[in-house]
A = this chain, B = another copy of it.
């Protein structure tokens, strides 16, 4: 019987060109669709909860698809894991309402970004953190989080060239934590613009290294010009941690 499934996976994005299928490189979506086709025998379009960029990771990433299979939903992750490469793992599956859509039904997502703020890089973190050798003022970065978070127009934190009409988002959580040399930025929102977390992190680093003042930041948030804010932080530090649905 043809049913809609909600599947949770994790992946290490290092060797993928992001989620969304494309001509120029292998993507997580392509792998998932190929494996589902092997299982069901027919082409199986898989919808992902977000278009993650090349090199970005996911602790939790939710997919939805229609499939006709006799494999019980709770067994599907075990079957998938025998076919998936080790850098993608299925972790949970359930039958969902026919109209469930992993992307459009997501009401909240949480991302984390790791910055290693130390003179020397750490080989064991190089795939999962941005190594930033110049000392950052963590106190200022914490204050900047308080300035940025909230419901507002986040146009200035959107990659140039992106075409989205409504750029108002509710960034309900934005906080920085420090453990030894590792700074972790956590961001929760009802929706993220293209590159939004990475531009926020790049801006926090500009605050931390003194290139941007807190007063300036407050003004620029209103001005809404991407070019006046920090650089886009590199992808490997970013991971999608949770996706929430109202069900």
Residues on A close to B: CB < 8 A?
10-12, 57, 59, 77, 81, 86-92, 120-124, 126, 128, 239
Choice from B92, B124, B128 contacting A57 with Cβ under 8 Å: B124
Total copies of the chain: 2
- Complex Cα distance A90/B121, Å? 9
- Complex Cα distance A180/B76, Å? 24
What are the nearest 10 A-B pairs in CB distance?
A: A12-B123, A91-B120, A87-B123, A89-B121, A10-B123, A11-B123, A89-B123, A86-B126, A89-B120, A12-B124
Q: Report yes or no: B12 in contact with A120, Cβ–Cβ below 8 A.
A: no
- Complex Cα distance A128/B122, Å? 14
Contacts of A120 in B (CB 8 A): 10, 77, 81, 89-92
Most B C-beta atoms less than 10 A away, residue of A88, A122, A123: A123
Q: Report yes or no: A89 in contact with B57, Cβ–Cβ below 8 A.
A: no
Q: Report yes or no: B128 in contact with A87, Cβ–Cβ below 8 A.
A: no
Contacts of A92 in B (CB 8 A): 120
- Complex Cα distance A123/B10, Å? 6
